[in-house]
Structure 1
Amino acid sequence: MPGMWWVVGVVVLAAIFSAYLGWTAQRVERLHARAQSAERALDAHLLRRAAAAAVVAEQAESVELYAAARLALDAEPGERETAENDLTRQLQKVALDPADPAARTLVATSRRVVLARQVHTDQVRDAQNARRRVVVRLLRLARRYPRPEYFDIVEPVLPELPPAPLPAQAV
């Protein structure tokens, strides 16, 4: 009978360890899925910003801004950070008209890029922290997932535009 308690203890410990491993593997999978989702969202917002910048460039007849927007739209994954940084530098040189709907769209998309980049950075950090855990490394629980990478770009903040003037009403 005394040997029976050892067996029960080992079985309980094995069950607890199995549950912990299952929970850890699931967490690693969730964090990587979130990082991939945040990367896709950031990519979509960057494309919207580049398209909005191209519209503003056409209206302002700014060749440099239009070229930077086209490069950002057409950039390959390895060239993306450089193209986005060039676009940001060009955008910071442009004077935006507060009454122009295209300029307002550009400012709004730039704000969304900032938020999407913050979310992406947080998700990548969390996924990389999970990958560094001893159990995850020893059991190679993250081997099925590509290592999430940070997207390092200059903060794409544009100046705040004053509210658009209201149309005059006939009296």
Structure 2
Amino acid sequence: MWWVLGVLAVAAALSGYLAWTAHRVERVHVRAASARRALDAHLMRRAAAAAVVAEHAASVELYAAARLALDAEQDEREVAENDLTRQLRSVPLAAPDEAAHALVATSRRVALARQVHTDLVRDALTARRRPLVRLLRMARGYERPGYFEIADPTLPEPAAAGRGPIPEPPVPVEAAT
């Protein structure tokens, strides 16, 4: 009689562990897909802000790169975003321009969204590699998440218009000794 209870306890523990593992696999895949959508939204905002900055700066190359990033398909997206980042780094941003500040803020959000996406993709791929998950094919219903490889999208703050950094006062030679 005791062995029946032992078998039932082991079966209950095993089924609980399998249910927990299946839920974990589902959860990390859903979170990775959600992070991908959030990253796409931030990339679209950055491209739109870049188009506005390009219009203010009269930069045809930046505007073209922004339009390509806005119109790119999923398989062309990484290349278009890298080109946009390259163009953004080549255009000086004016400080009083609110569009430039919005672009810098949006670029920082893209960097954060990319980091979150990368972390969640890593977690999902780690969950997929577990032997029990592979054996029971628990991840077969979910698309395999992939990394989004782009250059660091953060931009420096716009320099103040007409002003450079505050120079240090010169140190007199007599006072230095």
Asked if these proteins are the same fold (TM beyond 0.5), I'd say: yes
Aligned counterparts of 1:136 and 1:43: Cα–Cα separation in 2: 29
CA contact (8 A) 2:93 2:159 kept: no
1:127 paired with 2:121, answer: no
Of 155, 158, 170, the match for 2:155? 158
Corresponding residue for 2:84?
Answer: 87
**2:21 alignment partner, SS class:** helix
Q: How does 1:61-72 map to 2 (within 5 A)?
A: 61-72=58-69
User: Residue in 2 aligned with 1:110?
Assistant: 107
RMSD, aligned CA: 1.2
Q: What residue ranges of structure 1 are gaps of 5+ in the alignment? A: 165-171
Alpha-carbon distance in structure 1 between the residues aligned to 2:160 and 2:5: 71
Give the alignment partner of residue 12 of structure 1, picking from 9, 12, 26: 9
> Which residue of 2 is the match for residue 57 of structure 1?
54
- Between 125-134 and 154-163, report the one with greater CA deviation: 154-163
**Equivalent residue letter for 1:29:** E
Q: What is the aligned counterpart of 2:20 among 9, 18, 23?
A: 23
With normalisation by structure 1, the TM-score equals 0.92
* Alignment match, 2:169: none
Determine the C-alpha separation between the residues in 1 that align with 2:159 and 2:25: 44
- Tell me the alpha carbon deviations over residues 62-104 of structure 1, each in whole angstroms, 9 at most, x when there is no partner: 0100000000000000000000000000000010011100000
CA contact (8 A) 2:94 2:160 kept: no
Alpha-carbon distance in structure 1 between the residues aligned to 2:42 and 2:13: 43
Structure 1 residue runs of 4+, over 4 Å off?
none
Where does structure 2 lack aligned partners over 5 or more consecutive residues? 162-177
Q: How far 1:161 moved relative to its partner? A: 3.2
Query: Shift of the alpha carbon at 1:133?
Result: 0.4
1:28-53 CA-to-partner distances (Å, cap 9, x unmatched) read: 11100100110000000000000000
| Equivalent residue pairs, number | 161
Match of 2:74 among 77, 84, 99: 77
Calculate the TM-score normalised by the size of structure 2: 0.89
Determine helix, strand or coil for the equivalent of 1:78: helix
